C-alpha cells in the first residue's frame, strides 16, 4: 500500500484572464522509503502540484481529485486539520532557505517552535530534540548553532537547518522542491549525500521536485516527467535513463551539455512550453515534437499506457518499436554502447 | 596560437570592510580577486569556474572596468586600459561588452526592448537614428527574435527570449570580446541548449572572443577552449578544457568535477566521488598557506605554511599545488 496516492489531481488558478489549469489530471503514488523525482521545466506545474499536496495554495486556486496520505484524504480537508498535519505528517523543503527561515529569530527558537507545535514536550526536551536534529544533518557543534541567526550561516548550512526542521517531527512524507538549485555544486553534492543517508534512516517517502536530470539520477528511485501540467512519462530511474520513451524526455536528455561532444550542435527543443491558459489540443508537446503525427494534434490526448515488460508508463501515440528505436539514441552512454 | 586580444596581469580587486554605523571606518579590505593573470586569444572562449564567493563575478566586472582595479593591469589589443578614462575608456567599452546572468534584472521594465537594445548605439553615437532602428532589428533577427517585437516590453518575453535580448544588446556595438557572466544558469535545460548554440553560432559568424563566467561545469566544458578554476580569489588551475577536465592536477578541480551530478544513474552510483567537507572560508581572513588546505583531502602538514604559486608548464596546463594529483 502506497503511502501517498494522488489520483486525477487538477489544480486550477482563477486569474483575471480566465482559469489556468496548472496541474491537469496527475496521478502518482509513492511508498515509504522511496524517492520519487518529478522533473520538468519552469511552468510545468511541478510546484503547483507540491503545494496542492501541502494545501498551501492561495484561495484563488481550486484543487480537485484525490490526495490520499495514509488514512487522510487531503483534498477538501479543513484548514485547521491540515495545519496539524503540516510539519508533522508532511513536511516540505523549499528552494531558497533564506526566505523560508525567519531572519529575526535564532535557529534554535525556530527549531524548538516546530517541535513544540506538534509534540507535547517541555522546553528543555524541545531543545534536546533540536540539537539532535541539527546533529543528524551533520551540522558541527549543534548546540552553539542554536544561538545563531540565519544570516550567519552559509547557504548550505541554511539548507541543512531546513532539512533538520522538516525532519524534526518524523514526517511520513517529505516534499523537497528544488532543494539544491540555489547551492554550489560542492554544497549540492553534500546535500544530496545527506538526503541519500537520511532516506534509509527516516523511512519517509520523499517527493523530490527538480529540473535537473543529474540530481534525479543521483537520488531518485522513480521518476515522473511533467510537461505543461501533465505527466508524460513515469518509470524507475534506471529504466528512464536506459530506455526513455517520450519525445520530451529525449529532448531533455539530449539538451544536457555534458552528454554532447564538442563540435556537435546541442540538441535543442524548438519553441517554448505552451501557455496553460490556452493549451494546444491533443498532446501538449505535439507543437514542439519532431515526430508529431496528425493524431497527436487532435483530442483526445494520448493516455498514459504501460510499456511492455518494464513497468514504465508513457503518454505518446508513437508505436512501441519507434519509441524503442528513437529512445535508444538518447539512452545513457553505458546502455547504448 | 593567434594574438592575445585581452590580457590581465596580477589583477587585484578588493572591497572595503566597514565597521560602525555613523562613523564608518574601513577596518579591513577583502581581496575578492587576488593577483589573477589571464590571457584571451582572438576567437577563443576562456571560462572562469568556481563556487560562489570565489571572485569570478568581481573578476568579470573588473575586466570590463565596472570595478576599480587595486593593482595589476589590463591590456586590450596592446593598449593598457587599467586606468583609462573618458574617450579611450568609452572606446574600450564599445569593443568589450557584457552579458549578465539575470536577463530580467538587466532590462529596464518600463523601456521598450527596441529602445533598450538601441541605447548602446545612442550612447556611442553610432549611425543616424533611423539607421539605428534598422541595426537593432538586424541584431534581433540574428539572435532569433522577431524584429516586429521591437516595441514590446520585457515582461512579454520568456526567460530564453530575454536572454536573447541581452545578447542582441551585447553584439549591437560589434564588439571583439563579450564577457558572459553566467549566461545560461537562470534558464531551463531545453532553453539553455538554444542559448549555448546561439553563442557558438555568433562566435563563428562574428569572430567573437568570449570570457564565460559559470559555475555549471558541463556548460563550460561545452563552450570553453580553455578553463581557469578559481578558489578564494586565486586561480588554482588552468589549462585547455581537455587537460583540466580529464586530467585535473589540483585537488580542488578534481573535487569540483566529481561533485557535479551525472545524468546517468549507473555511472552516478559507481563513480568515485570526493565530497568536500565544510564551506568556502571567508575571504576576509583567508587560511594561511595554501587557501584550500583546510578542505583539501590530500593536504600535508606543510600546506598550512607554504603558499603554492601557479606554475604553468609549456603545454599551458598550470596548477597551484605543492602535492599535485597524478595526471
Domain that holds residue A16: 4-224
When pLDDT is averaged across residues A29-54 and rounded to a whole number, the result is 91
User: What was the pLDDT predicted at A204?
Assistant: 87
Q: How far apart are CA A186 and CA B275, in angstroms?
A: 7
In a domain, B86, yes or no: yes
To probe the interface with A, which of B244, B258, B264 has the most A CB atoms within 10 Å?
B264
Using alpha carbons, list the distances in angstroms from residue A60 to A12, A15, A16, A83, A167.
8, 8, 11, 19, 30
Given B189, B266, B276, which is nearest A186 (Cβ)? B276
User: Same domain for A254 and A291?
Assistant: yes
The residue among B103, B62, B46, B54 whose CA lies nearest residue B220 is B46
Please report the ipTM that was assigned to this predicted complex: 0.79
> How near does any CA of chain B get to the CA of A183, in Å?
9
User: Same domain for A215 and A266?
Assistant: no
- Mean pLDDT, chain B cut into blocks of 10 residues (327 residues total): 86 88 82 92 94 88 92 94 90 93 83 92 89 93 91 88 92 95 84 90 94 89 92 94 92 91 84 79 86 91 91 92 90
pLDDT surpasses 80 at A258: no
**Helix or strand (DSSP H, E) at B123:** helix B113-123
To probe the interface with A, which of B146, B161, B188 has the most A CB atoms within 10 Å?
B188
pLDDT digits (tens, 9 = 90+) for A123-138: 999 999 999 999 888 8
Q: Which of A174, A200, A224 is the last residue of a domain?
A: A224
For chain B, the domain total comes to 1
CATH number, position A14 = 3.40.50.300
Task: Identify the contact set of chain B against chain A, taking CB-CB distances under 8 A.
Answer: 51-52, 158-161, 188-194, 196-197, 200, 215-219, 221-222, 241, 255-256, 258-268, 273, 275-277, 279-280
User: Same domain for A85 and A194?
Assistant: yes
In a domain, B75, yes or no: yes
Residues of B in contact with A244 (CB under 8 A): none
User: Same domain for A160 and A245?
Assistant: no
Q: Which of A204, A224, A244 is the last residue of a domain?
A: A224
pLDDT digits (tens, 9 = 90+) for A130-181: 999 998 888 888 999 999 999 888 888 898 899 999 989 889 999 999 888 8
Torsion of CA A93, A97, A103, A108, to 10 degrees: 60
| Beta carbons within 8 Å of A27's beta carbon, 6+ residues apart | A6, A7, A8, A9, A231, A304
User: Same domain for A19 and A163?
Assistant: yes
pLDDT surpasses 60 at A250: yes
User: Same domain for A280 and A195?
Assistant: no
User: Same domain for A209 and A174?
Assistant: yes
In a domain, B33, yes or no: yes
Domain that holds residue B185: 4-107+176-319
| Beta carbons within 8 Å of B317's beta carbon, 6+ residues apart | B238, B239, B240, B243, B244, B247, B249
For chain A, the domain total comes to 2
CATH number, position B98 = 3.40.50.300
Q: Which of A189, A224, A259 is the last residue of a domain?
A: A224
User: Same domain for A217 and A256?
Assistant: no
In a domain, B131, yes or no: no
For chain A, percent of residues with pLDDT exceeding 90: 50
Residues of B in contact with A251 (CB under 8 A): 190
Given A185, A211, A335, which is nearest B189 (Cβ)? A211
User: Same domain for A256 and A193?
Assistant: no
User: Same domain for A115 and A159?
Assistant: yes
User: Same domain for A169 and A87?
Assistant: yes
Amino acid at each position: 500500500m502506497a503511502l501517498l496516492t494522488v489520483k486525477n489531481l487538477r489544480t486550477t488558478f482563477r486569474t483575471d484572464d480566465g482559469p489556468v489549469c496548472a496541474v491537469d489530471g496527475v496521478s502518482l503514488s509513492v511508498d515509504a522509503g522511496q524517492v520519487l523525482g518529478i522533473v520538468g521545466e519552469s511552468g510545468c506545474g511541478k510546484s503547483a502540484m507540491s503545494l496542492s499536496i501541502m494545501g498551501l495554495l492561495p484561495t484563488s486556486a481550486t484543487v480537485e481529485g484525490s490526495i490520499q496520505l495514509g488514512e487522510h484524504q487531503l483534498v477538501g480537508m479543513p484548514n485547521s486539520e491540515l495545519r496539524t498535519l503540516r510539519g508533522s505528517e508532511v513536511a516540505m523543503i523549499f528552494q531558497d532557505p533564506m526566505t523560508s527561515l525567519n531572519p529575526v529569530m535564532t535557529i534554535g527558537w525556530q527549531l524548538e517552535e516546530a517541535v513544540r507545535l506538534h509534540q507535547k514536550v517541555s522546553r528543555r526536551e524541545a531543545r534536546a530534540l533540536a540539537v539532535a536534529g541539527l546533529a543528524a544533518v551533520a551540522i558541527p557543534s549543534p548546540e552553539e548553532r542554536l544561538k545563531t541567526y540565519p544570516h550567519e550561516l552559509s547557504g548550505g548550512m541554511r539548507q541543512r537547518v531546513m532539512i533538520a526542521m522538516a525532519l524534526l517531527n518524523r514526517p511520513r512524507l517529505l516534499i523537497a522542491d528544488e532543494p539544491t538549485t540555489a547551492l554550489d555544486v560542492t554544497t549540492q553534492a553534500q546535500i544530496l549525500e545527506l538526503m541519500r543517508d537520511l532516506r534509509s534512516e527516516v523511512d519517509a517517502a520523499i517527493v523530490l521536485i527538480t529540473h535537473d536530470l543529474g540530481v534525479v539520477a543521483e537520488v531518485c528511485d522513480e521518476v515522473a516527467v511533467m510537461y505543461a501540467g501533465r505527466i508524460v512519462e513515469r518509470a524507475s530511474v534506471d529504466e528512464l535513463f536506459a530506455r526513455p520513451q517520450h519525445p520530451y524526455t529525449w529532448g531533455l536528455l539530449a539538451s544536457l551539455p555534458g552528454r554532447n561532444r564538442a563540435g556537435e550542435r546541442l540538441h535543442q527543443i524548438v519553441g517554448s512550453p505552451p501557455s496553460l491558459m490556452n493549451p494546444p489540443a491533443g498532446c501538449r508537446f505535439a507543437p514542439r515534437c519532431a515526430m508529431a503525427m496528425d493524431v497527436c494534434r487532435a483530442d483526445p490526448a494520448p493516455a498514459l499506457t504501460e510499456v511492455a515488460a518494464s513497468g514504465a508508463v508513457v503518454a505518446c501515440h508513437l508505436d512501441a518499436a519507434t519509441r524503442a528505436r528513437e529512445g535508444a539514441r538518447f539512452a545513457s552512454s553505458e546502455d547504448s554502447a | 596560437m593567434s594574438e592575445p586580444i585581452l590580457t590581465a596581469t596580477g589583477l587585484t580587486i578588493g572591497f572595503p570592510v566597514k565597521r560602525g554605523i555613523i562613523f564608518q571606518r574601513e577596518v579591513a579590505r577583502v581581496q575578492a580577486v587576488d593577483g589573477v593573470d589571464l590571457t584571451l586569444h582572438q576567437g577563443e572562449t576562456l571560462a572562469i569556474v568556481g563556487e560562489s564567493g570565489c571572485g569570478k563575478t568581481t573578476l568579470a566586472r573588473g575586466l570590463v572596468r565596472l570595478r576599480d582595479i587595486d593593482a595589476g593591469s589590463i591590456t586590450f589589443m596592446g593598449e593598457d586600459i587599467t586606468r583609462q578614462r573618458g574617450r579611450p575608456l568609452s572606446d574600450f567599452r564599445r569593443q568589450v561588452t557584457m552579458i549578465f546572468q539575470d536577463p530580467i534584472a538587466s532590462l529596464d521594465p518600463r523601456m521598450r526592448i527596441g529602445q533598450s537594445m538601441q541605447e548602446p548605439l545612442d550612447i556611442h553615437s553610432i549611425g543616424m537614428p533611423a539607421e539605428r532602428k534598422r541595426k537593432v532589428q538586424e541584431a534581433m533577427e540574428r539572435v532569433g527574435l522577431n524584429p516586429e517585437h521591437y516595441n514590446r516590453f520585457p515582461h512579454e518575453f520568456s526567460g530564453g527570449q530575454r536572454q536573447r535580448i541581452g545578447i542582441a544588446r551585447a553584439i549591437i556595438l560589434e564588439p571583439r570580446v563579450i564577457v558572459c557572466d553566467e549566461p545560461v544558469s537562470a534558464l531551463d535545460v531545453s532553453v539553455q541548449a538554444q542559448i549555448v548554440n546561439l553563442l557558438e553560432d555568433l562566435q563563428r559568424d562574428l569572430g567573437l572572443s568570449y570570457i564565460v563566467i559559470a559555475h555549471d561545469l558541463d556548460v563550460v566544458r561545452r563552450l570553453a577552449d580553455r578553463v581557469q578554476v578559481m578558489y578564494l580569489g586565486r586561480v588554482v588551475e588552468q589549462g585547455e578544457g581537455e587537460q583540466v577536465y580529464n586530467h585535473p592536477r589540483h585537488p580542488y578541480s578534481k573535487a569540483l568535477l566529481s561533485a557535479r551530478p551525472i545524468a546517468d544513474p549507473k555511472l552516478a552510483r559507481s563513480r568515485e566521488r570526493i565530497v568536500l567537507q565544510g564551506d568556502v572560508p571567508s575571504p576576509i581572513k583567508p587560511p594561511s598557506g595554501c587557501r584550500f588546505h583546510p578542505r583539501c583531502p590530500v593536504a600535508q602538514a606543510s600546506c598550512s605554511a607554504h603558499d603554492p604559486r601557479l606554475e604553468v608548464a609549456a603545454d599551458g596546463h598550470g596548477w597551484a599545488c605543492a602535492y599535485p594529483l597524478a595526471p
